[in-house]
Amino acid sequence: MNTAFISSGSGEIPVLIIFAPTATGKTATVGHLFSDNVPSFFSGKAEIINADSMQVYKGLDIGTAKASSEFLSHLPHHIIDVCSPKDQFGSGDFVRLADLACKEIFSKGKLPVICGGTAFYIKNFIYGLPITPTADEETRKLLQDKIKQVGAKTLYEELKSVDEVSASKIHINDEYRILRALEVFYASGKPLSSFELPSKARTGYKFLTIWLYREREELYSRINKRVLEMFDSGLISEMRALLKQGLTQEHPGLQAIGYKEFFTSGENPYEMLLEHEENSDFTNSDRFLVWVSEIKRQIQRNTRHYAKRQITFFEPLADVFKIDADNFELISQKIKDFTSVYLT
């Protein structure tokens, strides 16, 4: 695009936020609206900032429903494939990178569009991060030594006893987040979950927040179908490649829905996937088929539960336009109204 689409005399950056639970169809929606190869008023006039907590990881493509490279070539995305599945990535990382991306996109005269289903990323971006106490080095070392001695599961149980709300949001093997939550409790005597977000939106931005909505039964049906499509697209091969890289269920990336279920379905995934690769007859064996069927069932169930939690977490947010996900006309009109004061 040779000329700017939007600018701001007030110094505020206009940001469109599109929230949608998993499998709602948000990728199709932003493609329909903003891709440079579609006949849309906004074609080529926006760039996407990913707000899906697992699409930040390299190599986690099929299981996270990451957009294809062809799609990304027509609609630039930010905060995708930015770290290894071995690394931690949290709300603070997201807010920092999203701030940089918004400034970069707006400097081109384009509209920054934050799109995803990780509700706490979106909330933290709008309102800022909760102000929590920092643990001293002595406390941090005490906890780090303790987790080495007794393991993550023991400290997870300790966290549950003092902060059940935070524990419910943390994987039992997520050492980083378990330690961080306990650090806050040790430093303040208060659970991490008691520290609330600021009540006012951050300055420097003007937000339009759209919630792409589907009825629950329709959403659950789409989730079940998408999981089957992931397996048809090669999820088993993708998981085998990740394990060959030395990844384990202890690493943050493989604690994601779509991957962790390979470890919880009654078989050793390393043995099963290696045998699947080397022995074609094993692929059709009852043992392998039963195992894969159980993985599919668990992914479908866990994804449905996750979608429900996404909605529950996002519902209290103020100033949100809840629009049927297939109503492109109304979605487009809302965005036109929002951007009209910034048009150049």
Domain ranges of the chain: 13-129+198-342, 137-194
- Residue range 327-343: mean pLDDT, rounded: 91
Percent of the chain with pLDDT over 90: 71
d(CA 205, CA 245): 41
Residue 79 · residue 101 · CB < 8 Å: yes
Residue 138 CA to chain centroid, in angstroms? 33
CA-to-CA dists, residue 78 to 7, 43, 49, 214, 234, angstroms: 20, 17, 5, 26, 25
Fold of 137-194: Histone, subunit A (1.10.20)
Q: What is the mean pLDDT of the chain?
A: 92
Q: Please check whether residue 129 is in contact with residue 96, taking contact to mean a CB–CB distance below 8 angstroms.
A: no
C-alpha 10/C-alpha 338 separation (Å) is 15
- At 152, the pLDDT band (50, 70, 90 cuts) reads confident
pLDDT of residue 148: 87
Distance CA 114, CA 101 (A): 10
Q: What pLDDT was estimated at residue 81?
A: 98
Give the pLDDT confidence of 40-87 residue by residue, as tens digits.
889 999 999 999 999 999 999 999 999 999 999 999 999 999 999 999
pLDDT band at 198 (very low <50, low <70, confident <90, very high): confident
Environment class of residue 246 by beta-carbon count within 10 Å: exposed (0-12), middle (13-18) or buried (19+)?
A: exposed
Output the DSSP codes for 281-329: HHHTSHHHHHHHHHHHHHHHHHHHHHHHHHHHHHTT-SSEEEEETT-HH
At residue 1, the pLDDT reads 40
Tell me which residue has tokens 């699947």: 276
For residue 242, give the 3-state DSSP assignment. helix
| The CATH number of domain 13-129+198-342 is 2.40.160.40 | no
Neighbours of 114 (CB within 10 A): 25
pLDDT, tens digit, for every residue of 31-47? 999 998 888 889 999 99
Question: Tell me, what's the pLDDT at 3?
Answer: 56
User: Which among 120, 63, 69, 60 has a CA at the least distance from the CA of 95?
Assistant: 120
Average pLDDT over residues 189-197: 85
Residue 199 reports pLDDT greater than 60? yes
Mean pLDDT, to the nearest integer, of 295-319?
91
Cα separation of 135 and 141, whole Å? 10
What mean pLDDT is predicted for residues 175-202? 86
**245-265 confidence digits (pLDDT tens):** 999 998 999 999 999 999 999
Report the pLDDT averaged over residues 114-137: 88
Quick one: pLDDT at residue 62? 98
Task: Average the pLDDT over 228-238 and give the result.
Answer: 97
Helix (H) or strand (E) holding 343: none
pLDDT band at 168 (very low <50, low <70, confident <90, very high): confident
pLDDT of residue 2 exceeding 50, the answer is no
Model confidence, pTM:
0.86
Residue 343 has pLDDT above 80, yes or no: no
Please write the tens of the pLDDT for every residue from 101-123.
Answer: 999 999 999 999 999 999 989 99
The answer to whether residue 196 scores a pLDDT higher than 80 is: no
CB burial of 15-53 (b: ≥16 within 10 Å; e: otherwise) equals: bbbbbbbbbbbbbebbbbbbbeeeebebbbbbbbbbbbb
Q: Is the pLDDT of residue 190 over 70?
A: yes
Contact in structure between 201 and 193 (CB atoms under 8 Å): no
With cut-offs at 50, 70 and 90, classify the pLDDT of residue 129.
confident
User: What is the average pLDDT across 226-239?
Assistant: 98
Give the dihedral of Cα atoms 221, 225, 227, 231; nearest 10 deg.
170
State residue 235's pLDDT score. Answer: 98
The residue with tokens 């400097």 is 107
Residue in this structure with the two tokens 């003007």, named with its chain if needed: 206
More confident site: 86 or 176: 86
Evaluate if residue 132 carries a pLDDT over 60.
Answer: yes
